[in-house]
Amino acid sequence: MSAAGSESSVNAPVKVDGEGLPLWLLLELTYRCPLKCPWCNNPLDFDRYRNELTTEEWVDVLRQGRELGALQLGFSGGEPMQRRDLEELVGEATRLGYYTNLITSGMGLNEQRLASLQRAGLKQVQLSLQACDAELDDRLVGADAYAHKIAAARAIKARGFPMVLNVPVSRYNIEQAPALLALAEELGIEYVEFANLQYYNWALLNRSDLLPTREQLTAAEAVVAETRARLGRRMTIYFVITDYYADRPKACMKGWGNIHLTIAPDGAALPCQEARVIEGLKFPNVRDHDLGWIWRESPVFQKFRGESWMQEPCRSCPERGHDYGGCRCQAFLLNGDAASTDPVCGKSPHHHLIEEAVAAAMVGRSQKRLIMRQRGLNVA
């Protein structure tokens, strides 16, 4: 223990950089969901994917993921409770040594299934909630969901699970931040995440109607700061302002193909959940290739790994090792070129697109109806 004499060493535990391992494995078990959230990050043509992986195929993904060094495992969707084999998959993941996270809307998470999941070794639950009152919550998700969500939250805490309350933030609910935090405190929830929407897929369709104002964000930020100070360690609050109001891009996924691996319902392997929005990429599928090849060698995972793909202004930017040029999906959706600088960056020649989108959202506030997630949407 030679380092013990050095305080800087003993008190600076290493933050995980992945070292090239896919530490985070996210399984989108299904795109099916009873809710119609107008910011859903599933593809616009989600209903065209009907060939979900079987239980055996998911188990094989779990086994291969652990061999590659994955530690954190998310069961997501769609709504993962739609899969009747969720308990079996959680049990297998527990045996393999994952830290298992259930990412759910709470729909279908009844007491019986929660008990089964706990027996299977589930470690934590992330529950989404949109508002503190049934009227707004149900309107935003397009279903009678509020009562189920609150019942699920109470059941989760009654069983002693650590819990993340995930609040997708839009202009409709951001002013409920104080009430949402009070509710989380009352329920004994340890983590609250104000998840500013990422404007891809359904959220991008509805961007001008969802984007909060800067004033709303500033007010919510003040409430968060006050609550953090008051509750201290009892509650961890994550609050990151939407990148549309930032001057620098987010370090998206901590870099493409760096620590994160998503498997879509049909077995497609994605460097992030949204990556399907980038046209022209042929995503490798776990039905055709082993996960090791997909992660280390497949063209898609190599494409934006490291820095060699970067263009100016990223290529010579001193911040490129910090933000990796931002989000490839956003660069594609807004600039039409996935290898370009994320337009959120003030140095991007496309940054005006962000400023214009914000300005348009402020002018056209609530002029149009939200487009709810639905089958067969004719986007054109």
Q: How far apart are CA 359 and CA 369, in angstroms?
A: 18
Q: How far apart are CA 115 and CA 68, in angstroms?
A: 30
Query: Which residue from 38, 123, 186, 241 is in contact with other proteins, where contact means CB under 8 A?
Result: 123
Query: Which residue from 5, 280, 318, 376 is in contact with other proteins, where contact means CB under 8 A?
Result: 5
Strand, coil or helix: 117: helix
Q: How far apart are CA 252 and CA 344, in angstroms?
A: 12
Q: Give Cα 154 to chain centroid, integer Å.
A: 23
To which H or E segment does residue 187 belong? Answer: helix 177-187
Query: Which residue from 34, 162, 178, 313 is in contact with other proteins, where contact means CB under 8 A?
Result: 162
Q: How many CB atoms lie within 10 A of CB 235?
A: 18
CB 166, min distance to other proteins, A: 10
Closest CA to 69 of 121, 125, 30, 16: 16
If the CB atoms of residues 100 and 330 are measured against other proteins, the closer one turns out to be: 100
The answer to whether residues 252 and 260 touch, using CB atoms and an 8 Å cutoff, is no
Number of amino acids touching other proteins (CB under 8 A): 34
Query: Which residue from 23, 205, 217, 333 is in contact with other proteins, where contact means CB under 8 A?
Result: 23
CB 233, min distance to other proteins, A: 6
- Show Cβ contacts of residue 88 under 8 Å, excluding neighbours closer than 6 positions: 55, 120
CB 67, min distance to other proteins, A: 8
Position of tokens 């996924």? Answer: 253
Dig out the tokens for 325 from the structure: 């040029």
CB 73, min distance to other proteins, A: 10
* Residue 229 sits in the site that holds other proteins (CB under 8 A): no
* Residue 71 sits in the site that holds other proteins (CB under 8 A): yes
* Residue 360 sits in the site that holds other proteins (CB under 8 A): no
* Residue 273 sits in the site that holds other proteins (CB under 8 A): no
Query: Which residue from 41, 76, 101, 227 is in contact with other proteins, where contact means CB under 8 A?
Result: 101
If the CB atoms of residues 14 and 380 are measured against other proteins, the closer one turns out to be: 14
- Contact footprint for other proteins (CB under 8 A): 1, 3-7, 9-16, 19, 21, 23, 68-69, 71-72, 97, 99, 101, 123-124, 126, 162-164, 190-191, 193, 233
